[in-house]
Amino acid sequence: MVRFFLFILFAIISNNAIASVQGKTLICDKDSRGYKFISKDKVEILSIKFDELSINSINHLYELAENVILIKKPLIEFNKNKNSKPIGWIFRRTLDYVSLDYVNGDWSRRFLWSCKITSSDQLDKRLKIKIEKLIKSSVNKIKEFN
């Protein structure tokens, strides 16, 4: 009986599918996108804008399902009276992210990348480091071209 109780306790502690995501921060897509879960239904998504080499931040709604975190449309576009279809999801156990793309009137699967749990400070730092690396590499390519 004690072994069974310890097994259940271990499963609860180590299982991402049971844990709440509010207050968690994820970094995904090779350090170019981050998710700050700031309330029970709102997530701030930070991503690098490659054309401007800046960090873009948009608030989205999300919903927890048993095995996935469903990312909804941005809050500015969202009408709370309507049910919004997810635009992507994160598998809670593996933290793999899948994004959807609206093509010819239908949503299709677009990306699959892995995420890692991090802190908000680390997320900001890693996004800034990624931008610095991109700037350095573009400067080096310009020097090579000249």
pLDDT over 90, % of the chain: 35
Q: Is the pLDDT of residue 52 over 80?
A: yes
Q: Is the pLDDT of residue 13 over 50?
A: no
Q: Is residue 7 part of a domain?
A: no
**58 token code pair:** 């948009």
Q: What is the pLDDT of residue 140?
A: 76
1 within domain boundaries: no
Closest-CA residue to 108 (of 100, 96, 99): 100
Across all residues in the chain, what is the average pLDDT?
Answer: 79
Q: What is the pLDDT of residue 87?
A: 82
Residues of the domain holding 111: 21-145
Q: Is the pLDDT of residue 103 over 60?
A: yes
Give the chain's domain count: 1
pTM of the model: 0.72
pLDDT over 90 (residue 36): yes
User: Is 9 a member of any domain?
Assistant: no
